[in-house]
Structure 1
Amino acid sequence: MSVLTLLFLLLFSPTLLAAVYELPPEGQHLVGEGFFVIARHEDTLVDIAARHGIGYDEIKAANPEVDPWLPGERTRVFIPAEFVLPAEPRQGMVINLAEKRIYYYPRPAANERPKLHTYPISIGRQNWETPLGQTRIVRKRKDPTWTPPESIREEHAAKGDILPDVVPAGPDNPLGDRAMYLGIPGYLIHGTNKPAGIGMRVSHGCIRMEPDNIRELFELVPANTPVKLIDVPFKFGIRQGLIYLEAQQPANSSIHMHQDREQLTGLLLEATGGEFDFELDWDRLDQAIKNPRGIPLPVGSLSSVGVGVGVGVGPQTETGLF
């Protein structure tokens, strides 16, 4: 990104839309590039994240030494805008809860190179977890009304907030002005009237998006688009002969995390199809796992450049990979 382009974005874009990338060839798995910006006196990390299409937890993890509410004037803040693609087919929508991020692969037009649109999201908080699995967009609605389920009505009533049977469209509607309904009953991808929470675990299980982002995605995504919800905190990818690991905390914190060297070696053998020798920097790999920052880090290299297959490492339960 050029200095002039970055300056224009900082001055004239209070909120950026999705990052849009041309997809790399099959066997290559990274898109985007991280970069630094300079904080202004009035900035918080929430402000900076919103300007650059990044969620709060993403920018906080990438800048652990920066005060999220008072970064300080002229503080360098890293924007983690480089991503390892999830190890899923490059079609439809993939939602990785560990990243709090949507990956949308629109069907390319004739003679058009395939593209990726990616957006930060909010997901379900503890005890209101967003479900996993394969589903689809069953319908879409502008200016939706909201019928609060009984569980949410009871939660609000306990705080003295009595919800109506139906919340009409408008500024007080927590669904915002766009909603896409999943095949999992009761779960939606929708806007919000509280965009400061994007990139956090703050919802009752639905997937929240920044208002401009949901408006953009709403126009791109047709009904019946397949949606895959995953919770994959460790993603391996290959780019130009180097092996990268992108690590973050899993969404489900109750799942025991354990990645030993034998397992990781097996996954990397799978990633290269067993056709290439590789070397790993185990110290760097172990450090990336122990201190997940959501930034793709080179942890090894292939002995020769070739086509590999991306591998996503899911959290383990006692019976194996989740």
Structure 2
Amino acid sequence: MRLVRRTVAVFGLALVAARTEAAKPRVYDLIAGNEHEYTVASGDTVWSITGRFTMNRDLFTSLNALAESDRLRPGMRLKVSDRHIVPRRNRDGIVIDLADRTLYWFEHGSLKSRFPVGIGRIDWATPPGRYRIVGRREDPIWRVPASIQAEMRARGEPVVAVVGPGPDNPLGKYWIQLSSPGYGLHGTNAPASVGKYASHGCMRLLPEHAERLFREACDGTVVEVVYEPVKIARDRLGSVFLEVHRDVYRGKPVDFDGVLAQLQAAGLRDAVDWSRVAEVVVRTWATPEDVTRHAPPAAEPTAWDAPAPAE
């Protein structure tokens, strides 16, 4: 588990580099997932369901006309959506987008699989970067880093130095080592935290997904970790889609001016409906939304034309 404070500094440096590349934003060409019905099981909560589908809570409550006070009951049939713009950067390998908490696994240019991922808390940000799988362990032993032992002590919890294999091990049954010491992908004994900002920096998977990656992803596989709270896609028909997330890591401010700049740099200024873009930015539903302009261009967009983004 990556559990050292310097990851925050690494993350900051990576974001500086990302801003340098902002002049040429990537325009992707693939959207994965769909909207479908889900039957609530015993023990399900809004938190666990939205994590499993890496779904924005506001989108979930809107699709299902739920109030904050509404309780879920086993057997309820709810609408869920796991649609995301796919950050296809290479023909082969793995891309993990920290913004949508999803692992994308590519093979021969096609999307082989995608899994929800639990990533670092705001104060233990998972660092972006390009890594490789360099090893794996079944039934790993967790040697608790001093930084986490200090956190346990500060919270008045029993301080644990070593956790052996078994149901109490937060690494789960499988550990996949990346090319940065102490940093990897692993299972978990807290599956409800998958799809959330919940770890100390490493990336946790549902047990069945960790096992599949453990058995099928070869050593040497590239794992690219990115942070893209704003993603753009254009399909074969020319339709433009925009996916906007909250800037949880406070590294890439998400506002109308910033999105405007990205769309301009991508050469899509005249291809989008700016009123739709403003709506998408304000509500940050974290799902691909069609912002294609289907009428003559509107007046020149300016920052003061757009509503202020919600906090």
Q: Aligned Cα RMSD in Å? A: 2.9
State whether residues 242 and 300 of structure 1, in contact with CA within 8 Å, keep that contact through their aligned partners in structure 2: yes
State whether residues 94 and 106 of structure 2, in contact with CA within 8 Å, keep that contact through their aligned partners in structure 1: yes
State whether residues 60 and 68 of structure 1, in contact with CA within 8 Å, keep that contact through their aligned partners in structure 2: no
Contiguous gaps of at least 5 residues in structure 1: 1-25, 109-113, 272-276, 304-322
Shift of 1:155: 1.0
Shift of 1:182: 1.4
- C-alpha distance in 2, partners of 1:222/1:130? 22
Partner of 1:7: none
For residue 126 of structure 1, the aligned residue among 102, 122, 137 is 122
- C-alpha distance in 1, partners of 2:188/2:206? 7
Partner of 1:197: 193
- C-alpha distance in 2, partners of 1:292/1:167? 39
State whether residues 101 and 118 of structure 1, in contact with CA within 8 Å, keep that contact through their aligned partners in structure 2: yes
For residue 268 of structure 1, the aligned residue among 253, 266, 269 is 266
- C-alpha distance in 1, partners of 2:196/2:262? 29
For residue 253 of structure 2, the aligned residue among 243, 253, 256 is 256
Partner of 2:290: 298
Report the CA distance shift for 1:151/1:189 in structure 2 as closer, same or farther (over 3 A): same
Shift of 1:28: 3.1
- C-alpha distance in 1, partners of 2:43/2:163? 35
Contiguous gaps of at least 5 residues in structure 2: 1-26, 296-311
Shift of 1:32: 2.6
Shift of 1:280: 1.5
Q: Secondary structure at the match of 2:137?
A: strand
Partner of 2:244: 247
Partner of 2:82: 81
1:32 aligns with 2:29: no
Shift of 1:46: 4.4
- C-alpha distance in 1, partners of 2:155/2:131? 34
State whether residues 38 and 77 of structure 1, in contact with CA within 8 Å, keep that contact through their aligned partners in structure 2: yes
More displaced, 243-252 or 71-80? 71-80
Report the CA distance shift for 1:131/1:121 in structure 2 as closer, same or farther (over 3 A): same
Report the CA distance shift for 1:36/1:282 in structure 2 as closer, same or farther (over 3 A): farther
The normalised TM-score by structure 1 is 0.72
Identity in percent: 29
Shift of 1:166: 2.2
The normalised TM-score by structure 2 is 0.75
State whether residues 242 and 302 of structure 1, in contact with CA within 8 Å, keep that contact through their aligned partners in structure 2: no
Report the CA distance shift for 1:258/1:138 in structure 2 as closer, same or farther (over 3 A): same
For residue 230 of structure 2, the aligned residue among 212, 234, 238 is 234
Structure with a larger share of its residues in helix: 2
- C-alpha distance in 2, partners of 1:106/1:69? 42
Report the CA distance shift for 1:246/1:188 in structure 2 as closer, same or farther (over 3 A): same
How many residue pairs were aligned? 263
Partner of 1:96: 97
Partner of 1:281: 273
Q: Which runs of 4+ in 1 moved over 6 A?
A: none
Report the CA distance shift for 1:47/1:164 in structure 2 as closer, same or farther (over 3 A): closer
One-letter identity of the residue aligned with 1:285: V
Show CA shifts across 1:85-110 (max 9, x none): 115224211111111111111348xx
Q: Secondary structure at the match of 1:151?
A: helix
- C-alpha distance in 2, partners of 1:265/1:137? 34
Shift of 1:251: 3.6
State whether residues 87 and 235 of structure 1, in contact with CA within 8 Å, keep that contact through their aligned partners in structure 2: no
Q: Secondary structure at the match of 1:35?
A: strand
